């Protein structure tokens, strides 16, 4: 989401770093570029004005002018002020006796129903017993959608059809949760195409009957500054306690994420980063600021890796790498684990410096190329995967037919895999050559586009 903004800010900082001492004019010139980059990213103009003012006050002071590395000091100030703009981290309030009621509100199309299921999964992982409540009786198939999601995830759904008023459905659900010892009740309330009095009045009734501890507004990050306006309106009428920004993995310019806390005073609690039911991240302002400024987000990358990597398998893989026994079967297993972490470009952006490195090496790395590689490897026999040297011309034609690819693409894969094997051996032998292994992986993916 922040790719364009990140690129522009990194360009500004690169120019600053090329200078030794920084004059006030240098700082002002850099901040003009930062200001333009933020406005182009659709950040609220008042937020930009306050942000630039705070940065300038610190950047032209003694903490920069007397610094041995003034450019780095300016970057540090921008980073700190960006974290301040994004706001303090806020977590769900699940204190007191259960059931804890969480009301999800928002406009139609914001991803509210899917987010309810994602939040239920997140809470269950943390030891809670969630109950989903289908209280959107207006949108066609909304109740069915939640019931299907609940069935897929093995999470109970309370629904009473589309004839019972939503406030009554929600009140009955809370009663059921209390009797059946569910610890959290997630109310999927009705959305509208736009804010209106009837909608707000119904939400006020739901709130009055269920006394939710949390009223979370689900906002589509793709709507830009409209997201800030919607958040402000909901907060005034319903009193929201937090925000969930969805579609953060899309090509939105990112202004809503930066502006919304400053304008509304309401904290962002979660980010929806994909369509899968586990694609919901706890919001960490410092981590997001790092991504925006191109510093990466190593902690989130590690958490994603730990969630999908089998430790025993990782140890076995390490031994294979050291011995130079890494084969196509192992490579396929690694790809499958990488896929579970989300889009590859999104994951690599979390590693400092890797975003630019991969763009330089293989600008067209996509999940589609990963699927094609997997299809080719799956079309091989176990013996061929373990010993690619036996793959002759007739075997290549058979593999191409089975995977829907061409012999040329099979040759490319085998050639680049041999190159990657060599780099993996180097990586195992010397920590200094770690980027070589990544370069092999990236060129392999990019070369098969």
Is residue 197 a contact partner of residue 158, using CB atoms and an 8 Å limit?
A: no
Structure-block tokens of residue 25: 């004019």
Is residue 388 a contact partner of residue 414, using CB atoms and an 8 Å limit?
A: yes
**Same domain, yes or no: 431 and 346:** yes
Q: Phi, psi at residue 321, to the nearest 5°?
A: -60, -45
In the block, residue with structure tokens 């398998």? 313
**Same domain, yes or no: 248 and 210:** yes
**Same domain, yes or no: 131 and 76:** no
pLDDT over 90, % of the chain: 28
Q: Domain holding 236: CATH number?
A: 3.40.50.300
DSSP code of residue 183: S
Distance of CA 37 to the CA centre of its chain: 22
100-105 and 184-189 as β-strands: parallel, antiparallel, unpaired? parallel
pLDDT at residue 132, rounded to an integer:
96
Sequence-distant (6+) residues with CB within 8 A of 86 are 257, 258, 261, 268, 285, 288, 289
Question: Would the pLDDT of 1 be above 70?
Answer: no
Residue 92 lies in a domain: no
**Same domain, yes or no: 272 and 172:** yes
Is residue 286 a contact partner of residue 341, using CB atoms and an 8 Å limit?
A: no
Confidence of residue 324 (pLDDT cuts 50, 70, 90): low
Q: For residue 254, which of 109, 114, 110, 86 has the smallest C-alpha distance?
A: 86
Residue 392 lies in a domain: yes
Q: Give the C-alpha separation, 353 to 296, whole Å.
A: 7
pTM: 0.65
- The range of the structural domain enclosing residue 160 comes to 100-292
Question: Would the pLDDT of 446 be above 80?
Answer: no
Question: Would the pLDDT of 361 be above 50?
Answer: no
**Same domain, yes or no: 207 and 273:** yes
Q: Phi, psi at residue 268, to the nearest 5°?
A: -80, 130
For residue 114, whether the previous peptide bond is cis, meaning omega lies within 30 degrees of 0, is: no
Question: Would the pLDDT of 433 be above 50?
Answer: no
**Same domain, yes or no: 121 and 227:** yes
Q: For residue 229, which of 189, 256, 258, 201 has the smallest C-alpha distance?
A: 256
Confidence of residue 306 (pLDDT cuts 50, 70, 90): low
Question: Would the pLDDT of 351 be above 80?
Answer: no
**Same domain, yes or no: 145 and 254:** yes
The model's pLDDT over 219-270, given as tens digits with 9 standing for 90+, comes to 887 777 777 888 888 888 888 899 998 887 765 566 777 888 888 888 889 9
Query: Could you tell me if residue 443 is left (phi over 0), alpha (psi between -120 and 50 degrees) or otherwise beta?
Result: alpha
Q: Please state the rounded mean pLDDT for residues 306-310.
A: 55
**Bridge partner residues of 102 (DSSP):** 186, 214
Confidence of residue 435 (pLDDT cuts 50, 70, 90): very low
Say which range, 23-32, 43-52, 111-120, 314-323, has the weakest mean pLDDT: 314-323
Q: Is the CA virtual torsion 293, 272, 200, 174 positive or negative?
A: negative
Question: Would the pLDDT of 359 be above 60?
Answer: no
Q: Please state the rounded mean pLDDT for residues 404-431.
A: 76
Q: Give the C-alpha separation, 204 to 232, whole Å.
A: 16
The model's pLDDT over 136-177, given as tens digits with 9 standing for 90+, comes to 988 878 899 999 999 999 999 999 988 999 999 999 999 999
């Amino acid at each position: 989401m922040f790719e364009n903004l990140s690129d522009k800010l990194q360009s500004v900082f690169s120019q600053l770093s090329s200078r030794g001492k920084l004059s006030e004019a240098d700082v002002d010139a850099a901040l003009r570029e930062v200001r333009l980059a933020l406005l182009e990213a659709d950040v609220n103009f008042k937020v930009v004005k306050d942000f630039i003012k705070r940065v300038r006050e610190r950047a032209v002071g003694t903490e920069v002018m007397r610094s041995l590395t003034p450019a780095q000091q300016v970057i540090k100030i921008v980073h700190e002020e960006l974290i301040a703009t994004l706001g303090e981290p806020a977590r769900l309030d699940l204190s007191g006796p259960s059931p804890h009621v969480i009301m999800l509100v928002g406009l139609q199309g914001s991803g509210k129903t899917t987010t309810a299921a994602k939040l239920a999964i997140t809470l269950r992982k943390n030891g809670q017993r969630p109950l989903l409540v289908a209280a959107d009786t207006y949108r066609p198939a909304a109740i069915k959608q939640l019931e299907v999601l609940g069935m897929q995830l093995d999470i109970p759904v309370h629904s009473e059809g589309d004839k019972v008023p939503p406030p009554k459905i929600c009140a009955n659900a809370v009663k059921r949760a209390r009797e059946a010892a569910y610890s959290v009740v997630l109310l999927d309330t009705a959305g509208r195409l736009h804010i209106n009095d009837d909608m707000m009045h119904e939400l006020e009734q739901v709130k009055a009957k269920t006394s939710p501890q949390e009223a979370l507004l689900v906002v589509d990050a793709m709507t830009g500054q409209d997201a800030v306006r919607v958040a402000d309106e909901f907060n005034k009428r319903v009193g929201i306690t937090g925000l969930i920004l969805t579609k953060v993995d899309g090509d939105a310019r990112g202004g809503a994420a930066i502006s919304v806390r400053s304008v509304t005073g309401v904290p962002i609690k979660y980010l929806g980063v994909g369509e899968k039911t586990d694609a919901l991240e706890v919001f960490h302002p410092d981590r997001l600021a790092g991504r925006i400024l191109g510093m990466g987000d190593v902690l989130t990358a590690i958490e994603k890796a730990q969630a999908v990597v089998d430790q025993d398998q990782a140890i076995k893989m390490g031994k294979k790498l050291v011995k130079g026994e890494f084969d196509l079967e192992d490579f396929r297993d690694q790809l499958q684990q990488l896929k579970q972490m989300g889009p590859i470009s999104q994951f690599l952006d979390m590693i400092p410096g890797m975003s630019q490195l991969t763009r330089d090496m293989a600008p067209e790395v996509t999940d589609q190329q990963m699927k094609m590689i997997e299809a080719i490897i799956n079309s091989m026999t176990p013996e061929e995967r373990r010993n690619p040297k036996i793959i002759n011309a007739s075997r290549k034609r058979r593999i191409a037919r089975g995977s829907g690819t061409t012999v040329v693409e099979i040759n490319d894969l085998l050639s680049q895999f041999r190159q990657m094997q060599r780099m993996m051996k180097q990586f195992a032998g010397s920590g200094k050559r770690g980027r070589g292994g990544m370069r092999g992986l990236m060129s392999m993916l990019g070369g098969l586009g």
